[in-house]
Structure 1
Amino acid sequence: MLHRDISINTLAYCRGADDRVEGVLYDFDLAMYVDANTPSSKHRAGTTAFLVLHLLEDRTLQHRLVFEYESLFYVMSWIIAYHKRGGAAIEGNPFGRWYLGTADSICAAKFGALRSPLDTLPHHKVLEDGLWRLQRLVRDAVFRMDDAGRSLRHPNMDYELLPNRGLNDEVLGLTADGFSRVLQWGDEIEIYERDRVGVRR
């Protein structure tokens, strides 16, 4: 299943039955059941601030699993650079260029985010290593897709030819169950969550 609208408004967390922190993804209004490398409908879905580069460049491009990873990276970047302990936002949204402007200017801003070091607020530092891994994975996938297809500056990239060139989601290191493997967050989440709510055990 592809969610197709991973954003700051569709992610949450809670404690599971074993008292471990678990992520929650909800609001499946735009979700579709598809194989990891089978195209979905040709309809651009998603929240602009977290919409992926290729969908910004080509409104008719079909949704893929790789896009879910990229949207997650934008969401996590938003959290660690914009939200203080407890969830309140800092003054001045550093991500205004991700949703204000033309598709070209938004794409350029996000392209820069994939290539730049993460800007992390102090209380999110424990999550930094996992986000670096996700950033590198997404950046490498985007660049390899461009190399095998067409540049982001040319909106008619033929995504359907990529698997024929040996470039599918699995080759890119992207699988349906791969988020936790990429982030490798275990004790980091426990430490972060306890510090965030002020609990000491």
Structure 2
Amino acid sequence: MQILGPSCIPLYRVLCDQNFETAFRSLIQGTLIPFVFTHPLNLSSVVVHHMLYKSAGILHCNLNTSSLMVSKDSLTCGILLDLDFALQVQDGDEALLPEPTLSGTLPFLSMDLLTTTGPPPPRLYRHDLESFFYILGWMLCRYDASGECKLQHQFAVWHRGPLDDIISAKWRFMRVPSHIPSERSSPSLQKWLRNLCRIFNTGYQEKDRDLQNPLFNHETLGGYVTFDRFMGAARQMTS
């Protein structure tokens, strides 16, 4: 995908905590940013994640630290890049069934997709939300206060594997640590991440308990992982 637009920098390089929080929320929640670009789905603007899904039925499917950027001219304005692996799963009221794929960046893939048994599951909106969750933790814990990558960090196994070890490491990450090992000074960022840990941990626990229940809502992990719940965790930052 080729994108022409204002110059941008990676989100993790935004050192002001308040700007970082605002930009991260904007990437999930939705803002239209005029661009000129080419894409097989023939959209006319770069749209941040939720609006992209709601307006065109498109999932990003490859969220990572390189796809979450901000404008150099406005550090609170998130820019979502790299739609090469995007899938259209909805066309108006009609649900589409694109061929299942395991595309994505390994450290940030949903645990549902980290499987070697059977065909890959259909891609869901909550899979992208789970990627946002992992990216937030990665950015808070892997980069120092100057935006440089730490030599020692807790995420080495996430990109090294094997898959069973990655799943185990992500389960441990979700178990709501009392303190996030981050050099960012904002308590609200750590609270946001802890709230998300609770949401995803509870959702996956419910899924495991209701494994044989045909009525379990897999699209939202029993209603725990939705756009509103994700953004609700962000709104609790000041509580």
One fold, TM greater than 0.5?
A: yes
Rounded Cα–Cα distance in structure 2 between residues aligned with 1:31 and 1:124: 35
Q: Matched residues, percent identical?
A: 22
Q: Give the match for residue 159 of structure 1.
A: none
The ranges of structure 1 where at least 4 consecutive aligned residues each deviate by more than 6 angstroms after the TM superposition are none
Rounded Cα–Cα distance in structure 2 between residues aligned with 1:147 and 1:85: 40
Selected match of 1:13 from 70, 77, 87: 70
Q: Give the match for residue 121 of structure 2.
A: 61
Rounded Cα–Cα distance in structure 2 between residues aligned with 1:10 and 1:20: 15
Q: Which ranges of structure 2 fall in alignment gaps of 5 or more residues?
A: 1-57
After TM superposition, give the deviation of residue 60 of structure 1 in Å.
1.3
Residue 131 of structure 1 aligns with an amino acid whose one-letter code is L
Question: Would you say 1:23 and 2:78 are equivalent positions?
Answer: yes
Rounded Cα–Cα distance in structure 2 between residues aligned with 1:23 and 1:178: 20
After TM superposition, give the deviation of residue 186 of structure 1 in Å.
8.0
Distance change in 2, residues 1:38/1:64 (3 Å):
farther
After TM superposition, give the deviation of residue 20 of structure 1 in Å.
7.8
Residue 47 of structure 1 aligns with an amino acid whose one-letter code is T
After TM superposition, give the deviation of residue 29 of structure 1 in Å.
0.9
Worse-matched range after superposition: 172-181 or 41-50: 172-181
User: When the two structures are superposed, what TM-score results if normalisation uses the length of structure 1?
Assistant: 0.72
Q: Indicate conservation of the 8 Å contact 1:7/1:75, yes or no.
A: yes
Q: Which ranges of structure 1 fall in alignment gaps of 5 or more residues?
A: 151-161, 188-201
Secondary structure at the aligned position of 1:22 is classed as strand
Rounded Cα–Cα distance in structure 1 between residues aligned with 2:194 and 2:96: 28
After TM superposition, give the deviation of residue 57 of structure 1 in Å.
2.2
**How many corresponding residue pairs?**
173
RMSD across aligned C-alpha pairs, in angstroms?
3.0
Residue 63 of structure 2 aligns with an amino acid whose one-letter code is I
Rounded Cα–Cα distance in structure 2 between residues aligned with 1:185 and 1:61: 32
After TM superposition, give the deviation of residue 87 of structure 1 in Å.
1.2
Residue 115 of structure 1 aligns with an amino acid whose one-letter code is R
Selected match of 2:202 from 116, 125, 140: 140
Q: Give the match for residue 97 of structure 1.
A: 157
After TM superposition, give the deviation of residue 140 of structure 1 in Å.
1.7
Residue 165 of structure 1 aligns with an amino acid whose one-letter code is L
Post-superposition Cα deviations, 1:99-134, rounded to whole Å, max 9, x if no partner, equal: 113111111111111114152313253311111122
Residue 141 of structure 1 aligns with an amino acid whose one-letter code is G
> Quick one: higher RCO (CA 8 Å, sep 6+), 1 or 2?
1
Q: Give the match for residue 198 of structure 1.
A: none
After TM superposition, give the deviation of residue 90 of structure 1 in Å.
1.6
After TM superposition, give the deviation of residue 147 of structure 1 in Å.
2.1
Q: Indicate conservation of the 8 Å contact 2:101/2:122, yes or no.
A: yes
Rounded Cα–Cα distance in structure 2 between residues aligned with 1:137 and 1:24: 26
Question: Would you say 1:88 and 2:148 are equivalent positions?
Answer: yes
